[in-house]
Every structure is written in structure tokens, then in C-alpha cells.
Amino acid sequence: MVKKIFAALLGLSLAVTSAGCAGKAGNAGSKGIKVVCATAPLYDWARQITKDTDSTDLSLIIGNGTDLHSFQPSAADIVSIKNADVLVYVGGESDGWIRDALKETANKDQKVVCLMDVLKDAIVEEEIVEGMQGEGEEGPEYDEHVWLSLRLASKSCTAIEEAIASKATKDKEKFKANLDAYTAKLSALDKQYEDMVKSARLDTMVVLDRYPFRYLAEDYKLKYSAAFVGCSAETEASFETVKFLSDKIKALDSKTVLTIEKSDGKIAKTVIETAGMSDVKVEVLDSMQSCGKDLDYLAVMTSNLAVLKDALA
């Protein structure tokens, strides 16, 4: 649907540009290079890299509680990315419209950081594991939820810092110092995840919802069972899926099962009732798919560590 409306929005964006609107990338006269980030985790990374400096003007495209999978760009959004000095986006299905917009930009000096291109061989396809309900899509679908890996976050931050420093050269030493301090924190938290998984009773996470956590599981060699793949639009689980997941939590003797943020909890409730395990807790593992500018990536991943620890206990 996004691709169908893109051509019309592009025409509108040209009109907005000619009227002098700078969109979300900043107002005319704002100080600093314009750094535009598609989603909240990327925005927070850029904010950590540029903190205590005054040479950048950060803005966020997909925010304010909008789920990135259902986001539809406005003409102002397209103007923002066309006017950006540095553009940072994932490059997956949900923000793939940005690639189309970039084909039309006249800003040849723009620095573009597409994380799917940066991370290359680390990108994996979504997979249908035993018991998971598929959607019958044709061809490979690459998992875009790369920010849920602390290790890929570190690589991504390095690419973002390099792009920003190439434009705002007067603060490049500060950017590098900020990057080093932040990636050290990412590495320390990664070690905490490693240690937790090593001491856990279980090696399998059960997510009674969509499953955007494949990169997280890959980092720590965790197995998983889930109702749907990460970008699924499904909301109703089949009898077979419910039965498989209820048998799974009984076999694991799970004390805690997982959902993602904004879940209505219906599938979790049905699976637990089917398993006859009323004492099983349901906790939220935050996938950061509908966050705004106030997101603290490290705080969320630290909270996720505690949730995952309960789920594997």
C-alpha cells in the first residue's frame, strides 16, 4: 500500500519543498547538519553519538507510538528525507519506501546509512519454526528487526558515527568519544545476557505473539517457539498453533511466557488455559516497534534482560 501512494506523495512533497517547508528535518535557519532517522532505536543511537555537541539537528520519522509496520509516510516525511544531510534507516520491508524516495533526491552529497546494507551477511531471513503459523508469502523475507541485537547495534552505531562525523567535522573527536563510551555499554550489557543464558534452566523462549526477536536469539543461541513471524499481520492463532504452544509450555514446565508490547494478550490467555497452567506468568518483551523520541535503547534492553531471565528460569 505504501508503494501505491508513494508517487502521489512525491508530487505533494515537491509542492511542499517549493513552498519552503523543511518538514521534520528541521526548520529553515536551524543550526547543525540535518540527521534524519527513520525509527526510534536509530534516533536514540544518533542522539547518544552526538550528545554534548551543537553541530547536528536530529529528527525522527516514525515515532509517537506508530507501529513501524503500519506507518504510511506523508509528503512532509518525504521532504525530510530528501533534505537530510545524513539519513539513517533500516532498509527492511517497513521502511522500504525510503529507497524509492531516495531515487528522486537531488542531494548528491547526502550520506545514507542503510543498516541492511551495513550489516550484510549478518542479515537473516524470517523463518517458520515448528508450530508457527505462516502467511504463505512467496520468496525470502529478510528479518528487519536488527536493533534487537546488541552486537548489531554496536556495528550500526559505528556506521552512523562515521556518516555524521564526515559531515560535522568540527565535532568528530567528540562523536568518536561518545561512540566508544556507548559501545562499551552495549558490550557490557551483551556480556550480562551471555552470563544469564549460561546459567538459565531453559534454552527456549516461548513468545505467544509475533516473533521479532530472531537476532536476539541468534546472539545467545536460544531456541524459540512463537505464534507468528516478526512482521506478520495475523491476530488469530489456529487451533493447531494454540495446541502446539500449549504442549510446548507444558513440556518445558514454563513459569513465564512472553508477548510483545501492545499485545491484547488473547493468544497468551488461550494457550495458558489450553495447557491448564493458570499459574504461568505473562511478561512483555519490548521489541521497540512503536516508540517515540523518548526511547532509551539501553534501558529497554536492560529491562528485556530481566524479562528474558524470568522466561528462561
Place of cell 551543537: 54
Grid cell, residue 182, equals: 556507548
Which pLDDT belongs to residue 27?
Answer: 36
Between 3.40.50.1980, 2.60.120.10, 3.20.20.140, 3.50.50.60, what CATH number should domain 2-187 receive? 3.40.50.1980
Q: Is 0.85 surpassed by the pTM of this model?
A: yes
Does 193-311 match 2-187 at the fold level? yes
pLDDT of residue 138: 57
CATH class, domain 193-311, is alpha beta
User: What is the chain's pLDDT, residue by residue, as a tens digit (313 residues)?
Assistant: 444 444 444 444 433 333 332 333 333 345 799 999 999 999 999 999 999 999 999 999 998 777 788 888 999 999 999 999 999 999 998 888 898 889 877 778 999 999 999 999 999 998 888 888 776 555 568 999 999 999 999 999 999 999 999 999 999 999 999 999 999 999 999 999 999 999 999 999 999 999 999 999 999 999 999 999 877 767 789 999 999 999 999 999 999 999 999 899 999 999 999 999 999 999 999 999 989 999 999 999 999 999 999 999 9
Q: Where are the domains of the chain?
A: 2-187, 193-311
Structure confidence by residue, pLDDT tens digits, 251-293? 999 999 999 998 999 999 999 999 999 999 999 999 999 899 9
